[in-house]
Amino acid sequence: MINIIEEVKDAGSIGISGHVRPDGDCVGSCLGLYLYLKNVYPEKKIDIYLEHPGHSFAGIPALDDVKTTAPVGKVYDIFILLDTVPNRLGDFEELFNSAKKTINIDHHVSNKDGSGDVNYIVPGASSTGELIYNLTEKQFMDRDIATLLYMAVAHDTGVFRFSNTTADTMRCAADLIGYGFDFSDLLDKTFFEKTYLQNKVQGHVVIDSKLYFDGKLIVGVATGEFMNKYGATTDDFDGVVNQLLLTQGVLSAVFIYEKKPGVLKFSMRSKTDDVNVSSVSVSMGGGGHVRAAGFDYNGDLTEGMNKVIELIGKQINV
Ligand code: 5GP
Ligand code: MN
């Protein structure tokens, strides 16, 4: 465990960021840490950078403070990277590289050695949000921070459902709920609700999905053509891979969509530690967890898909 208050004590300027296409854990843990450090050190210059958070996050505390473009030539005394590795920082990687000191807090097994000068990496932890909670001292906490960290933990555990949910996770959530925010409304808006378009494209992906290996693997695809037809963007497919995984008998789910022309995103899930999608992802140049991982693929859809089906098949058939 690190002492975050001590680690940033001498810094005049602090930058915080997380991965591209920030999910609930990334947004919640970055904003939660941002507000926490502002409470501890009101005099310090603290900035938070994220690629534009999706519309489902509208209304969460401090969202308006998020900067979505990187300043040129800015050098931070400390740059804190949450929930990922530097090469998934997108436009903000340079801020990490140029900072005088870096801190990395993460729970991804693919980043187990850490990427900062100072690291707090716990691969077994439910979420980066839970790790941030572990670092906090009660006297600097408030309801907004609790809201953000609760969102982070809830999202990365599939609302306390995934196997990464531990007794410590529930104690963390119980403590956070004690700050008195509307957790039901928070999760409806940020996690469960879908737009009409999102529901519709999810339905189409599920209809066209295919089963392999006696129904143990399911694969769904959204080609660029399909996305154009419905006017869907990459944001409209959140949760689709989890829905595929809920198919009875399925041990692993793969969802592939076109991130931008020529670049495919592979999103993988597994219901069991016997099918390690992180190892598949790492061998394809990406990363993630044993049961949730992903990577970008610059190549032919059928070729990439067949490769992944083969790699997962080897694990399913052992
Ligand atoms: P998702 O499928 O929800 O996009 O991602 C699942 C998990 O895999 C997340 O924990 C995410 O951080 C990780 N992941 C997804 N895509 C990539 C990628 O391109 N590179 C790396 N290193 N990790 C990824
Ligand atoms: Mn996470």
For every residue of 5-25, DSSP letters joined together read HHHTTT-SEEEEE--SS--HH
Provide the token pair at 67: 């900067």
**Cα–ligand 1 centroid distance for 45 (angstroms):** 30
Q: Which atom of ligand 1 is nearest to the CA of 85?
A: 22
Provide the token pair at 4: 């975050």
Predicted confidence (pLDDT) per residue in 260-288, tens digit: 999 999 999 999 999 999 999 999 999 99
For ligand 1, atom 16, name the residue with the nearest CA.
Answer: 294
Closest C-alpha to 190, from 7, 55, 1: 55
Predicted confidence (pLDDT) per residue in 79-126, tens digit: 999 999 999 999 999 999 999 999 999 999 889 999 999 999 999 899
What's the CA gap between 34 and 63, in Å, rounded? 11
Q: For the chain, what are the domain ranges?
A: 4-192, 196-316
What's the CA gap between 304 and 227, in Å, rounded? 19
Q: Which atom of ligand 1 is nearest to the CA of 19?
A: 12
CATH superfamily to which 4-192 belongs? inorganic pyrophosphatase (n-terminal core) (3.90.1640.10)
**Cα–ligand 2 centroid distance for 27 (angstroms):** 9
Pocket of ligand 1 (CB under 6 A): 19, 84-85, 88, 108, 110, 241, 267, 286-289, 292-296
Q: How many Cβ atoms are within 10 Å of 157's Cβ, its own excluded?
A: 22
Q: How many Cβ atoms are within 10 Å of 303's Cβ, its own excluded?
A: 10
Can you give the pLDDT of all 318 residues of the chain as single tens digits? Answer: 999 999 999 999 999 999 999 999 999 999 999 999 999 999 999 999 999 999 999 999 999 999 999 999 999 999 999 999 999 999 999 999 999 999 999 999 889 999 999 999 999 899 999 999 999 999 999 999 999 999 999 999 999 999 899 999 999 999 999 999 999 999 999 999 999 999 999 999 999 999 999 999 999 999 999 999 999 999 899 899 999 999 999 999 999 999 999 999 999 999 999 999 999 999 999 999 899 999 999 999 999 999 999 999 999 976
Is the whole-model pTM more than 0.75?
A: yes
**Cα–ligand 1 centroid distance for 42 (angstroms):** 34
| CATH code that applies to domain 196-316 | 3.10.310.30
For ligand 1, atom 22, name the residue with the nearest CA.
Answer: 287
What's the CA gap between 34 and 128, in Å, rounded? 14
